[in-house]
Structure 1
Amino acid sequence: MALEDSLTSLSRYVEFSYDNFNSYSIEMVRILLSAGSEVDVVLKDICKILEPSRKVKNISDYRDLISSKSLCFDGRLVHIPRFGLDFEPWSDWSSKEPLFWWRSYNKVKHQRSSSYSEGNLKNVLYAMAALFSANVVLCKLNGISKVCPPPSMFRSLDGAARVMGSIEGEQCLFVH
């Protein structure tokens, strides 16, 4: 939620549109590094649930284990209604090539001086969409069916989760 708040604040200064996807800044670098790190943590947690005794150490290991359990991340669509943007952050995860936003996250993390511009809006939004969808999967695996407060910016378009009103009219994220 804190990262989503940072993203919401960023949207006051940079319009989230395809035209601005190459924009970069120190704040975008910070969000990309934080989101990438959180994706790593969430994927490790998913792997621990799926196979507690198996050691996983990188995104390739996560992909191999998650795919072997028929838990498909490919095709998970994430929508930002406020800006009319759709993302499929795991679209090429089944290939042996790293995801473009993950590769950029690692470039910024390990080679910041030469890869600073990789901390751009496109990579930030894809990393945040990936974090959102990975969290939806983690909640489902943990038996959590209702998360309040819900994410304010992201919505799932693939049926893995949907936003509904609660009894009191509060918006909550229900995971099926």
Structure 2
Amino acid sequence: MKSDVQLHWDYFLLLEKDLIAIADTIELSEKNYTTYGPRILQLILSTGSELDVALQSFAKAIAPSSSAATCKRPNMADYKKVIASHSIDQFTTAKVRFLRSEISIVPWAPLAGNPNESLSWWDSYNQVKHHRAEHYESANLKVALFLIAALFVTDAYLSEARSDPYTGSTQIIDWEGATHMYMPQLETYYAAK
């Protein structure tokens, strides 16, 4: 049976394929950040939903007694508390780059100064999810890229928190340089490698 880490990673790779299909028709460029349409909307809704589930899995791995892990319906405020308490430096410095473009994103950076800071890409996702007609233009390429970058970071740190390496390589998403900081509780795990 697959672990939750592998299940999340496999789904991430499917979402990345959706992004690749979009990138075949829309250049991944900051100039196109405001581009929107049904395929981008679909990617945003799928990625946002998966991010919610992945964050809950991360919370269960790193802070099993937290409200993010024990609540029936945790929210981003619950997840941000876990990130702030257990992995703020890792999340807020993780820079993701999109190959075939010049785009590098640090999706969780707003939390560095204030863990309660709003995440505009998450707010846009929720607006589109709950009020699609009024916020359809908010379902744009920028939001999609920030969501998928945030999911990439979350899945990577979930893998580390569980000491369960995932299998399967990304095609257009990767860490930017040496910005991937290991989680402190895993220093002995990485020192042994």
Q: Same fold (TM over 0.5)?
A: yes
Shift of 1:53: 2.5
Match of 2:103 among 85, 93, 98: 85
Letter in 2 for 1:114: E
- Between 1:111-120 and 1:151-160, the stretch displaced more is 151-160
* Matched residue, 2:93: 75
- Between 1:91-100 and 1:101-110, the stretch displaced more is 91-100
d(CA) in 2 for partners of 1:149, 1:2 = 11
d(CA) in 1 for partners of 2:31, 2:99 = 17
- Between 1:136-145 and 1:48-57, the stretch displaced more is 48-57
Q: Please give the TM-score of this superposition, normalised by the length of structure 1.
A: 0.86
Pairwise CA RMSD of aligned residues? 1.7
Match of 1:52 among 64, 70, 80: 64
d(CA) in 2 for partners of 1:87, 1:153 = 13
Partner SS state of residue 62, structure 1: helix
Number of residue pairs matched?
A: 162
Q: Please give the TM-score of this superposition, normalised by the length of structure 2.
A: 0.79
d(CA) in 2 for partners of 1:3, 1:59 = 21
Shift of 1:160: 4.2
5 Å matches for 1:27-176? 27-56=39-68, 57-72=74-89, 73-94=91-112, 95=114, 96-145=116-165, 147-157=166-176, 158-160=179-181
Superimposed CA distance per residue, residues 42-92 of structure 1 (whole angstroms, 9 cap, x where no aligned partner): 111111112222222111111112211244311110011221210011110
Partner SS state of residue 117, structure 2: coil
**Contact preservation (8 Å) 1:136, 1:160:** no
Residues 1:20 and 2:20 are matched in the alignment: no
Letter in 2 for 1:144: D
Superimposed CA distance per residue, residues 145-166 of structure 1 (whole angstroms, 9 cap, x where no aligned partner): 3x332111111121348xxxxx
Letter in 2 for 1:132: F
Structure 2 unaligned residues grouped into runs of 5+: 1-12, 69-73, 183-189
Moved over 3 A (4+): none
* Matched residue, 2:3: none
Structure 1 unaligned residues grouped into runs of 5+: 162-175
Write 1 or 2 for the structure with the bigger share of strand.
1
Identical amino acids, percent of aligned pairs: 31
**Contact preservation (8 Å) 1:50, 1:66:** no
**Contact preservation (8 Å) 2:28, 2:100:** no
d(CA) in 2 for partners of 1:44, 1:132 = 14
